[in-house]
Structure 1
């Protein structure tokens, strides 16, 4: 079932919900609206939700994971293709490590479980809207399961430098230009740091590094750096 709301001018962040649990979605929409967000629609199926994303181009999609015969993560690539500027926060009852990894590898911008209280969900929404990649506190340990400790302690200075630039949102080409190295060398550094952090993507590496305190808080512009 679809519940459309009148779209207002973009003076507030617009949010679209894709979740087949109608009562939960309606309650969530009410809370988000009371906190100053513009909920432009709530959709119970992936097909309807994707069609709405293409039409409404929301700032944020709150996406469940489990749908009949499919998963929310499987639709993220199509969603981002329809609306590249839309960010995706997976909000789901599923709390398995495999689900978290699937979501992050698919391109979700954050992950929070429904067992978190509403203030933590709202904090995750705010974090995704400002460009961060939050992970539900109860799922952070899942990222580190089976990995040696401490993570990140074996990063080389250059790998750490590349990680900082990835965390600041720079592309491989921008990093190569800033460091005076080739894009292929940047890719090699990225692959090495992904392995050392136990990450499957740059997004996941940034999330892990953030939780480990490996990222500097200053996200200023990149400056030329001497290569090692």
Structure 2
């Protein structure tokens, strides 16, 4: 039980929280440690419970998901936030990226994909799937690129050839497993490469790496 991924559910609709709770509660290795109906409660519970992952709705009365995400990632930096959004990626969700969110989930995500996404983000893997990535960067990148101010430890030219390959695949939304298969590497080796790419570019996480790869022209517009 101590190794379970601890999840905090945040949504202003009780039925939505109940549905997610049923799905996650039935999955070995996941534990729902709390529920919040608005952003203010989410922040309070995140600070008190220190969950591994917060499943965060965007539109809520009072303190919304974006502000709650900003405060949670500042106060509890080890906690990862997954933003719940609609299929068309409404503009309110984009602000969550600059607030520190680690990725997006669709509200109609299948249970198996929901569980996989929570596990992935807990492990530091990609969350924004390839089918969402193209639309995300098309709409969000022009607005978010200026807000992302990486402080590179070294310039892009200092990436090794392998790190450059990994950076390109991150930009395409590939997971560590997919990158490993594409480059014929072990997942542990890929994880090390990803860490060095983020470090050298001064990026917070893979979501910022996706946007940077887009703005640098490493992946197509």
Q: TM-score range by the shorter chain?
A: 0.5 to 0.7
The residue number in structure 2 matching 1:103 is 96
CA positional deviation for 1:77: 2.0
* Aligned match of 1:204: 207
Q: How does 1:144-183 map to 2 (within 5 A)?
A: 144-145=137-138, 158=157, 161=160, 168-170=194-196, 175=200
- After TM superposition, the score normalised by the length of structure 1 is 0.63
Match of 1:92 in 2: 85
CA contact (8 A) 1:97 1:139 kept: no
Question: Which residue, 115, 122, 134 being the options, matches 1:122?
Answer: 115
Name 2:27's counterpart in structure 1.
35
- For the residues of structure 1 that align with 2:127 and 2:157, how far apart are their CA atoms? 25
With the length of structure 2 as denominator, give the TM-score of the two structures: 0.65
* CA-based RMSD: 3.4
Deviation at 1:139, TM superposition (A): 2.6
Secondary structure at the aligned position of 2:195 is classed as coil
Contact 1:135/1:207, CA 8 A, preserved across alignment: no
**Separation in structure 2 between the aligned mates of residue 69 and residue 48 of structure 1, nearest angstrom:** 10
Which has the larger helix fraction? 2
Q: Work out which of the two has the higher radius of gyration on C-alpha atoms and give 1 or 2.
A: 1
Match of 1:132 in 2: 125
Q: C-alpha distance in 2, partners of 1:136/1:23?
A: 26
Structure 1 residues 51 and 157, CA, compared in 2 at 3 Å: closer, same or farther? closer
Structure 2 counterpart of 1:181: none
Residue ranges of structure 1 left out of the alignment (5+ in a row): 1-8, 148-155, 176-185, 191-200, 216-228
For residues 38 and 202 of structure 1, the distance between their equivalents in structure 2, rounded to whole angstroms, comes to 24
Which structure 2 segments of 5+ residues have no match? 142-154, 168-191
Count of equivalent residues: 173
